[in-house]
């Protein structure tokens, strides 16, 4: 984990790849190239990448792309995907309208 915090670590330059246009996060339409570039700009953790690019922050909350993003970031950092801490899990776990989220009901014992 310490290794990942070392932002001065040399991961080499960003090199464009033919599939950089490929959509990875389907909801927010974030491409593979954008994710790879973000790593080279110094964003080494999944929460940072999410905040910067919004990948995994759309309607599905990373249900489809989380693993894909992780493997792309890991490859750029030249580490195993297993060492990358996944994104923080927060409520609500599923898409929900704000008026419903705020409508708390009491139940009888």
**Contact footprint for another protein (CB under 8 A):** 19, 22-24, 26-27, 29, 32, 58-60, 63-65, 67-68, 81-83, 86, 88-96, 99-109
Nearer to another protein, 43 or 65 (CB): 65
Nearer to another protein, 3 or 29 (CB): 29
Residue holding tokens 């964003």?
Answer: 43
The Cα 19–Cα 72 span in angstroms is: 12
Nearer to another protein, 65 or 73 (CB): 65
């Amino acid at each position: 984990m310490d290794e990942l915090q070392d932002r001065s670590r040399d991961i080499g330059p960003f090199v464009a790849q033919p599939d950089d246009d490929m959509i990875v996060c389907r909801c927010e339409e974030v491409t593979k190239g954008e994710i790879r570039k973000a790593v080279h700009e110094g964003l080494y953790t999944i929460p940072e990448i999410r905040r910067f690019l919004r990948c995994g922050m759309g309607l599905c909350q990373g249900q489809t792309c989380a693993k894909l993003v992780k493997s792309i970031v890991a490859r750029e950092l030249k580490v195993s995907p297993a060492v990358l801490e996944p994104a923080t899990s927060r409520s609500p776990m599923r898409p929900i309208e704000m008026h419903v989220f705020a409508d708390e009901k009491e139940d009888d014992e």
